[in-house]
């Protein structure tokens, strides 16, 4: 399919694949833990499954700003753009949504001290938010490819949590 424009309110917009971000946020809660949200009934798909905070890039924001905004909206966790490290770009056209997703990660032991909740998310977007121990991620049903992302990031980047900042 070719990229094409549509007019809305006399403005021209180009239709193409969406750009999104996902944030793998790790902390130490008596063992390596990752921030996870359970997708609510307001989501178009993967309802009831767990994922890392993620979402679409808005106009006039950077990828890191988008990632921080999505984390804040879905979990209330305040992450600064400079805390994020680029991990991976997923642009596989064989995936269902064909999103181009920039995946970031960060590790900060102070994050566990922040209060997390989903009061700023869109209605019914998030059913639950919590820290999940990486050693227990297999007990959860994960949306998209997030289980593999968590596994790979822990093994390759965090070196099985032997990694020290």
- Whether 11 is in a domain gets the answer no
Residue 108, Cβ density class (10 Å: 0-12 exposed, 13-18 middle, ≥19 buried): middle
- Whether 5 is in a domain gets the answer no
Distances (CA, A) of 130 to 11, 45, 86: 41, 20, 23
pLDDT of residue 20: 94
For 110-156, write each residue's pLDDT tens digit: 999 999 999 999 999 999 999 999 999 999 999 999 999 999 998 88
Give the pTM. 0.88
Q: Domain range for residue 32?
A: 17-157
Q: What CATH number is attached to the domain comprising 94?
A: 3.90.79.10
pLDDT of residue 163: 41
pLDDT grade for 30, boundaries at 50, 70 and 90: confident
- Whether 101 is in a domain gets the answer yes
CA–CA gap between residue 141 and residue 89 (Å, rounded):
23
Give me Rg for the CA atoms of the chain. Answer: 16
Contact predicate 22/147, CB 8 Å = no
CA–CA gap between residue 117 and residue 127 (Å, rounded):
10
- Whether 163 is in a domain gets the answer no
Three-state DSSP at 85 gives strand
- Whether 164 is in a domain gets the answer no
Contact predicate 91/2, CB 8 Å = no
For 41-100, write each residue's pLDDT tens digit: 999 899 999 999 999 999 999 999 999 999 999 999 999 999 999 999 999 988 877 889
Domains contained in the chain, number: 1
- Max mean pLDDT among 12-16, 30-34, 158-162 falls in 30-34
pLDDT of residue 165: 34
């Amino acid at each position: 399919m070719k990229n094409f424009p549509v007019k809305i309110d006399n403005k021209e917009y180009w239709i193409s694949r969406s750009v999104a971000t996902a944030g793998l946020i790790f902390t130490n809660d008596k063992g390596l833990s990752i921030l996870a949200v359970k997708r609510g009934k307001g989501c178009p798909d993967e309802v009831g499954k767990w994922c890392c905070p993620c979402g679409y890039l808005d106009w006039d924001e950077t990828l890191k700003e988008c990632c921080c905004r999505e984390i804040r909206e879905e979990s209330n966790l305040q992450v600064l753009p400079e805390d994020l490290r680029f991990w991976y770009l997923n642009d596989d056209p064989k995936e269902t949504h064909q999103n181009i997703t920039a995946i970031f990660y960060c590790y900060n032991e102070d994050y566990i001290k922040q209060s997390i909740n989903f009061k700023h998310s869109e209605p019914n977007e998030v059913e639950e938010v919590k820290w999940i121990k990486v050693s227990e991620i297999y007990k959860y049903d994960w949306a998209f490819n997030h289980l593999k992302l968590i596994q790979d990031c822990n093994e390759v980047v965090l070196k099985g949590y032997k990694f020290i900042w």
